[in-house]
Amino acid sequence: MTAQYRQLQAVHDSQAVTDGDGVKIQRSVTRGRLQTFDPFLLLDEFRSDDAADYIGGFPEHPHRGFQTVTYMLEGRMRHRDHMGNEGVISAGGVQWMSAGRGVLHSEMPEQDQGLLHGFQLWINLPANEKMSEPNYQDFPADQIPVVSLANGATVKVIAGEFKHGAQRTRGAVVGVSTKPDYLDIHLPGQTSIDIEVEGDKTAVVYVYEGSVDIGGRSLDSQQMGQLGNGDRVQIQSSNAARFLLLAGQPLNEPIANWGPFVMNTQAQIEQAIEDYRHGRLV
């Protein structure tokens, strides 16, 4: 069967925002487009070597109804939650947390100088898992497989599967209902990569260094590219580039959201707010 290559359907610029205690962020996948990127709800990139931009961190706050994925490229971030989990995510490490029915947690920088660079991705949970027990997983860099290709490209497989030739490399994270693929790809200049992406998945590319070309259209740093239908994508770079490829099975369920809560109905959001105010969220 002939492969159908996904094209770059739309380009979305990330937006400069602040969150937590004044942390400066570039935010993609914002409210108003949640169904478009189903099951992905939000992607934040934080990157600064000025401590004033990040030192306030993210003091204790609640979540319900979705998963948060924190991936660090540089620097260190300490996670604490109401379940007693605590750990430092350092360069190359990943924290994958399912908030389920409710989590109270904080994410605070473990440094007061130097570069802090990473991402937080929010992935929706299906309706039948929104009130499940919360879960926390921590993966240091040495537990996440990295594939080196003959053309000098590298692919870090955080979740899902990367197929290269007759080989398949599975990521560190398994057992997620939306079957997400989370790849961090580095391309040298004047190279390309051809990636299989399951046809029923939503797929996006986020460039964080350099620029890439997908089907004759350019995607620049701090832009998210929404990919169309197909079962493969070919990505080219004129100069060195680094980007994330995210793919996941859409839930095709109603989405109601308010701040740190993502449910299916407004009544469920109001219940989450009420539970939090009265100490019943966790």
Q: Mean pLDDT for each 10-residue chunk of the chain (282 residues)?
A: 90 95 91 82 96 96 97 96 92 96 96 95 98 95 96 97 93 94 98 97 98 97 97 97 98 95 98 96 93
> Could you count the other beta carbons within 10 Å of the beta carbon of residue 75?
22
Distance (Å, whole) CA 182 – CA 225: 15
Distance (Å, whole) CA 66 – CA 86: 20
Q: Which two tokens stand for residue 198?
A: 């399951």
Cis peptide bond prior to 39, omega within 30° of 0: yes
Length, in residues, of the chain = 282
Q: For the chain, how far is it from start to end, CA to CA, in angstroms?
A: 50
Q: DSSP label at 267?
A: H
Task: Name the pTM for this structure.
Answer: 0.96
Tell me which residue of 232, 155, 244, 245 sits closest to 198, measured CA to CA: 232
Q: Which two tokens stand for residue 143?
A: 């537990």
pLDDT value of position 71:
97
Note the Cα 184 to chain centre separation in Å: 10
pLDDT value of position 3:
87
Residue whose entry in the numeric block shows the structure tokens 């109601």: 256
pLDDT value of position 29:
79
pLDDT value of position 33:
73
pLDDT value of position 219:
98
Q: Which fold has domain 8-277?
A: Jelly Rolls (2.60.120)
Tell me which residue of 198, 241, 246, 239 sits closest to 224, measured CA to CA: 246
Distance (Å, whole) CA 25 – CA 33: 19
Distance (Å, whole) CA 171 – CA 158: 5
